[in-house]
Amino acid sequence: SSELTQDPAVSVALGQTVRITCQGDSLRTFYANWYQQKPGQAPVLVIFRKNNRPSGIPDRFSGSSSGNTASLTITGAQAEDEADYYCNYRDSSVNHYVFGSGTRVTVL
Amino acid sequence: QVRLVESGGGVVQPGRSLRLSCAASGFTFSNYGMHWVRQAPGKGLEWVALMWYDASNNFYTDSVRGRFTISRDNSKNTLYLHMRSLRAEDTAVYYCAREGHSNNGMDVWGQGTTVTVSS
């Protein structure tokens, strides 16, 4: 299983768009999921299998993928979107799961 | 509602053992694979272990294989993590999480239980 690399931190102005990226060779083969974690809280799944939103997740969250990079885009960021975001994938060949290092999103 | 509640965390000396539990409710527990994921203080998420819905298979991250054992009791809707030979680097918040159908991510998480390994 290969590692996933994320930028440590990004900032976005309120109402603007931010894209969070996740790089890893395994993403050429396996889908990425994305999780949001607010301070002191458990993670929440926001995107699964590259570009699907669980019920209850606002449609301002979207996912995409190209080559070895998966992306989570927040279109019209809100104050409540300030959180850490983690990508992950399942390596089905060995049934191992890998998380990215996480990106802290600050909404200005 | 769908809920996972972890328990069993605490302070333990290096080399000792601890068993965590995760009680599930609001869904058919026996239909889902279940994970343990941990987060060391100030660090990111780390996948620890997975057990299939019917307990027929389990998988571990390399750093815990041979020391940790994941198990489940579907009659009690409970997932377990038996941790042995604990090390300082096992100090973390331990979350249980449900594997969504068709590998659709970890779609339900508990609130976590804290394990501190210290002398």
Q: B59 and chain A: CB distance < 8 Å anywhere? A: yes
Q: Provide the terminal-to-terminal Cα distance of chain B, rounded to the nearest Å.
A: 39
Once rounded to an integer, what is the mean pLDDT over residues B109-118? 98
For the cut 90, the answer to whether the pLDDT of residue B102 exceeds it is: no
What is the nearest CA distance from A17 to chain B, expressed in angstroms?
Answer: 24
| CA pair distance B63, A35, nearest whole angstrom | 23
Average pLDDT, chain A: 95
Q: What is the pLDDT of residues A34-51, one digit of tens each?
A: 999 999 999 999 999 989
Give yes or no for B35 touching A (CB within 8 A).
yes
Is the minimum CB–CB distance between A38 and chain B shorter than 8 Å?
no
Q: How far apart are CA A73 and CA A12, in angstroms?
A: 11
- In this complex, the residue of B50, B57, B112 whose CB is nearest that of residue A97 is B50
Residue closest to B29 by CA, chosen among B96, B112, B113: B96
B contacts of A33 (beta carbons < 8 Å): 104-106
Tokens of B35: 């994970």
Q: Dump pLDDT digits (tens) for B28-87.
A: 999 999 999 999 999 999 999 999 999 999 999 999 999 999 999 999 999 999 999 999
- Residue in A45, A97, A101 closest to B107 by CB: A45
Cα–Cα distance between B48 and B55 in angstroms, integer? 16
pLDDT exceeds cutoff 70 at A1: no
Cβ–Cβ gap A99/B107 under 8 Å:
no
> Is the per-residue pLDDT at A83 higher than 90?
yes
